[in-house]
Structure 1
């Protein structure tokens, strides 16, 4: 018998998120080049459905979080869309507004299209830089002024 928790159990931190790619190798290379993520030297099977594909886990070396890039045999190759059920976007915080400008320059150097840095006050003050991965997953870098 499970006893109901009176307090939410603890979470130690963010570990990883996983996305499905149409071209596993191209996506792994893109996340390495653009975000500096480092792949682990093994692949991960889809436990209980090993024949359906596998994943590569890429680690962010300074902070320890990861992105899993999955290959599914049944993937029809449809680009990701935030307008359908599932992942809408992924966002990371940056320390300053100037960091967003530096990221925009970095993305330009990497040949990654982006929307430029947007500063807004509605519904609250923040700045954001929006770009997309090879499968059209929306990625954001966000600065909230102190």
Structure 2
């Protein structure tokens, strides 16, 4: 059996992704307040470069996925931009179009600027709500109609 004909190894699910923040404490507080994530009670060193900073990992309590928020000593404090190599954005799914409206209201109450809900059919039907974290990282909440 060749590599091309073998089945891909299994993936059990989404675990975490990590971002770098200019102000670790402010970003941790924002993700707690806006997304309801809960920080683990320890910090995590950068593997292989432990002296360069550390991360706080925040857990989504119901679904058990996580976001790592990193502090790097060498971070110059430049806001994130999807126009350079690296993270463009990340998106989370919601169950209904009405959930997007509820999220828009929630973000308003939290003082988080957002795009409002956009419904589109091009290139496929979906609805999306776009907003940004304190470092300008774009987050999206997406509903795909069934």
Same-fold status (TM-score > 0.5): yes
Q: Provide the rounded CA distance (Å) in 2 between the counterparts of 1:82 and 1:116.
A: 20
**In structure 2, the residue corresponding to 1:18 is in which secondary structure?**
strand
Whether 2:20 is the aligned partner of 1:23: answer: no
Q: 2:79 maps to which residue? A: 79
**In structure 1, the residue corresponding to 2:140 is in which secondary structure?**
strand
Q: 1:101 maps to which residue? A: 101
Q: Provide the rounded CA distance (Å) in 1 between the counterparts of 2:34 and 2:47.
A: 29
Whether 2:5 is the aligned partner of 1:13: answer: no
Q: 1:116 maps to which residue? A: 116
CA drift of 1:94 comes to: 0.4
Structure 1 unaligned segments of length 5 or more: list them. none
Q: Provide the rounded CA distance (Å) in 2 between the counterparts of 1:36 and 1:49.
A: 30
Q: 1:91 maps to which residue? A: 91
CA drift of 1:112 comes to: 0.2
Q: 2:131 maps to which residue? A: 131
Show CA shifts across 1:73-93 (max 9, x none): 000001001111010001011
CA drift of 1:47 comes to: 1.8
Aligned residues: 144
Runs of 4+ in 1 over 4 A off after TM superposition: none
Q: Provide the rounded CA distance (Å) in 1 between the counterparts of 2:126 and 2:45.
A: 39
Q: Provide the rounded CA distance (Å) in 2 between the counterparts of 1:4 and 1:130.
A: 40
Q: 2:56 maps to which residue? A: 56
Whether 2:129 is the aligned partner of 1:145: answer: no
Structure 2 unaligned segments of length 5 or more: list them. none
CA drift of 1:7 comes to: 1.4
- TM-score, normalised relative to structure 1: 0.96
